[in-house]
């Protein structure tokens, strides 16, 4: 694990002994920042398994200041046997002074009741961290100034989620206006759906309002929203004050965007449902013609998006039908349900269907493949997502069984051949379906399931 700093010819890296170092390229000199790393117990600047897998979604746990003079990092202490989550502390190293300081996060939450998340530098001397309580229903944003490390400034009101959890979303971003103002963008739930909060951190002042923003381009901020339905993602632009709103992309599609560091240009990525295309903003030829030519003549499944009832709810479902699918056949097609259904996840989107195991089953084995987003999944609002809170496995399995029942009632489906398979959280859901002994699911494959939350990185359980 290593990373160069953009403003200073130095490189930080974590060695195999779980210690953090930096290397000065010009002086060809390596300095050891920490010396207490222990394999599988103490991790400096690199996440342990729980944080890498479930919170950061990456292994790197350090961030350079923009000018390369400071290195902020997390330390993870897994030395307490049987403790469900590691104890995490926050540290800052000064390259000029060669001093290491610890930030007293116990002022926010005690170590046994603390989860840390994003760490974002605002400028060369200030950074922001997100700290949550252990059960993840309370979040605080803390501003830290390296010139006075003992002062921790709460820059947003405590955010509560009474009947659910706060997602580890990793969405904190900063941008600077042409006038020199610095803003922090934070994604949080507002009136049942996610919105982005704008926080003025120019002079450590506090000013935030629930307006939809995301990335800067000529003082307009871009964001992606699940419109017109939960399976879509389209790009919008908002003025800084939130009064002007422009839809950049539209239709039954799925778009993402990536911006250059100065936020002057961006690549717009069309992800589906048709063949993906990428183009620079305002360019007129988004076609991925080489790929289109290469797959001509390849027998691929047809894709359909439907809704299936589960009690009073309607579930979003993506279906891959075999090439040459014939709905007049009786009791013919097996059905394979590929499940994940983890909290805040989403499988049913208008992204292009990549070539994967489900594609093979539909194309080569004449099997109908279905992906079902049951309760707990994303972009259906707070009530839909939080319904699984403290009831993990109950409603997810009920919804998968409801989908299997719906397919079993289709005349072209071979009722004796409906299967479900899942991995990780999907393995847990598949196991709960098998446990329910439903007459509609005849085969279940549970891969790497969570069988006891006590032995897992259980920040949502």
Burial (CB < 10 A; 0-12, 13-18, 19+), residue 434, is: middle
Q: Please say whether the beta carbons of 450 and 54 come within 8 A.
A: no
348-382 residue pLDDT tens? 998 888 889 999 999 999 999 999 999 999 888 88
In this prediction, residue 399 carries a pLDDT of 98
Write the CATH number for 334: 3.40.50.1820
On whether both 106 and 215 belong to a single domain, the answer is yes
In a domain? residue 277:
no
On whether both 369 and 435 belong to a single domain, the answer is yes
Pair 111, 258 in one domain: yes
Q: Kindly list the strands in the beta sheet with 277-280, ordered across the sheet, starting from the edge strand earlier in the chain.
A: 254-259, 266-272, 277-280
The rounded Cα 206 to chain-centroid distance in angstroms is 27
Average pLDDT, rounded, for the chain: 82
Say if residues 251 and 243 touch (Cβ distance below 8 Å).
no
Task: Give CA–CA dist 257/267, Å, rounded.
Answer: 6
What six digits make up the tokens of 117? 């998340």
Asked whether residue 260 falls in the same domain as residue 312, the answer is no
DSSP-H helix ranges across 280-369: 289-294, 357-365
Cα(74)–Cα(129) distance, integer angstroms: 11
Residue 273: inside a domain: no
The more confident residue out of 273 and 101 is 101
Residue bearing the bigger pLDDT, 40 or 215: 40
Q: Which of 213, 240, 264 is the last residue of a domain?
A: 264
Query: Is 232 in the same domain as 315?
Result: no
Q: Does 287 reside within a domain?
A: no
Q: Which residues of 306-338 are buried (b: 16+ CB within 10 A; e: fewer)?
A: eebebeebebbbbbbbbeebeeeeeebbbbbbb
Instruction: Mark out the alpha helices in 121-232 (DSSP H runs).
Output: none
Residue 102 sits in the same domain as residue 196: yes
Instruction: Supply the pLDDT for residue 457.
Output: 61
User: How many domains does the chain fold into?
Assistant: 2
* pLDDT surpassing 50 at residue 459: no
Q: Are residue 14 and residue 140 in the same domain, yes or no?
A: yes
- DSSP class of 55: I
366-386 in b/e burial notation, b at 16+ Cβ within 10 A? ebbbbbbbbbbbbbbebebbb
- Give the largest CA-CA distance in the chain: 77
Asked if 140 and 69 sit in the same domain, the reply is yes
Residue 270 lies inside a defined structural domain of this protein: no
- For 388, what's the count of Cα atoms within 13 Å in the CB-facing half-sphere? 25
Could you tell me the CATH number of the domain that includes residue 80?
Answer: 2.140.10.30
Look at residue 286 and tell me if it is in a domain. Answer: no
Q: Are residues 228 and 368 in the same domain?
A: no
Quote the domain boundaries for residue 447: 299-455
Does the residue 460 lie in any domain? no
pLDDT tens by residue, 152-169:
777 765 566 667 887 765
Same domain as 214, residue 71: yes
Residues 253 and 311 in one domain: no
The residue from 264, 291, 325 where one domain ends is: 264
Residue 112 forms part of a structural domain: yes
Give me the pLDDT at residue 296, please. Answer: 83
Mean pLDDT computed over 63-72: 90
pLDDT in tens, 279-320: 666 433 345 676 777 788 888 999 999 999 999 999 999 999
Q: For residues 251-269, b (16+ Cβ closer than 10 Å) or e, as one string?
A: eebbbebebeeebeebebb
Q: For 28-60, how does the pLDDT look when each residue is reduced to its tens digit (9 = 90+)?
A: 888 899 999 998 899 999 999 888 888 888 899
- Across 140-149, 258-267, 429-438, least confident range: 258-267
pLDDT tens figures, 120-129: 998 888 998 9
278 lies in a domain? no
Res. 253 pLDDT band, cuts 50 70 90: confident
pLDDT at 25: 80
| Mean pLDDT to the nearest integer, 408-412 | 97
Q: What is the mean pLDDT of residues 202-231?
A: 50
pLDDT, tens digit (0-9, with 9 covering 90-100), for 5-26: 666 677 888 889 999 998 888 8
Distance separating the N- and C-terminal Cα atoms of the chain:
30
The answer to whether residues 30 and 124 belong to one domain is yes
Domain end: 264, 290, 317, which one? Answer: 264
> What is the pTM assigned to this prediction?
0.69
């Amino acid at each position: 694990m290593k990373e160069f700093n953009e403003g200073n010819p130095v490189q930080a890296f974590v060695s195999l002994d779980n210690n953090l170092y930096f290397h000065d390229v010009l002086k060809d000199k390596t300095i050891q920042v920490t010396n207490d790393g222990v394999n599988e117990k103490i991790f400096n600047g690199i996440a342990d398994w729980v944080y890498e897998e479930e919170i950061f979604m990456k292994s790197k746990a350090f961030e350079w200041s923009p000018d390369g003079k400071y290195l902020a990092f997390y330390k993870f202490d897994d030395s307490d046997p049987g403790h469900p989550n590691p104890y995490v502390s926050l540290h800052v190293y000064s390259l000029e002074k060669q001093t290491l300081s610890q930030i007293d996060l116990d002022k926010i939450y005690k170590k046994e009741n603390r989860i840390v998340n994003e760490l974002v530098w605002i400028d060369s001397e200030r950074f922001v961290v997100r700290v949550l309580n252990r059960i993840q229903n309370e979040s605080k944003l803390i501003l830290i100034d390296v010139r006075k490390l003992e002062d921790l400034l709460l820059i947003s009101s405590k955010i509560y989620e009474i009947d659910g959890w706060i997602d580890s979303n990793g969405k904190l971003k900063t941008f600077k206006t042409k006038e020199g103002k610095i803003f922090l963008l934070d994604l949080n739930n507002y009136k049942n759906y996610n919105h982005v909060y704008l926080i003025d951190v120019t002079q450590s002042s506090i000013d935030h309002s629930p307006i939809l923003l995301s990335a800067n381009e000529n003082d307009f901020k871009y964001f992606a929203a699940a419109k017109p339905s939960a399976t879509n993602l389209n790009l919008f632009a908002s003025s800084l004050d939130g009064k002007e709103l422009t839809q950049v992309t539209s239709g039954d599609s799925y778009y993402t965007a990536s911006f250059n560091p100065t936020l002057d240009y961006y690549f717009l990525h069309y992800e589906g449902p048709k063949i993906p295309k990428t183009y620079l903003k305002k360019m007129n030829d988004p076609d991925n013609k080489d790929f289109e030519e290469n797959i001509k003549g390849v027998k691929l499944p047809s894709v359909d998006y439907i809704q299936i009832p589960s009690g009073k709810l309607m579930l979003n479902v993506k279906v891959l039908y075999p090439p040459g699918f014939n709905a007049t056949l009786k009791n013919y097609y097996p059905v394979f349900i590929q499940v994940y259904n983890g909290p805040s996840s989403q499988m049913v989107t208008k992204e292009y269907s990549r070539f994967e195991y489900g594609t093979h089953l539909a194309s080569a084995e004449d099997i109908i493949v279905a992906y079902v987003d049951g309760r707990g999944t994303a972009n259906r609002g707070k009530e839909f997502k939080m319904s699984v809170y403290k009831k993990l496995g109950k409603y997810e399995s009920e919804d998968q069984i409801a989908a299997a029942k719906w397919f079993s009632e289709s005349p072209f489906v071979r009722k004796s051949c409906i299967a479900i398979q899942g991995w990780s959280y999907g393995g847990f859901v598949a196991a709960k379906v098998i446990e329910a002994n439903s007459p509609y699911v005849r085969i279940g494959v549970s891969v790497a399931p969570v069988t006891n939350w006590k032995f897992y990185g259980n920040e949502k359980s």
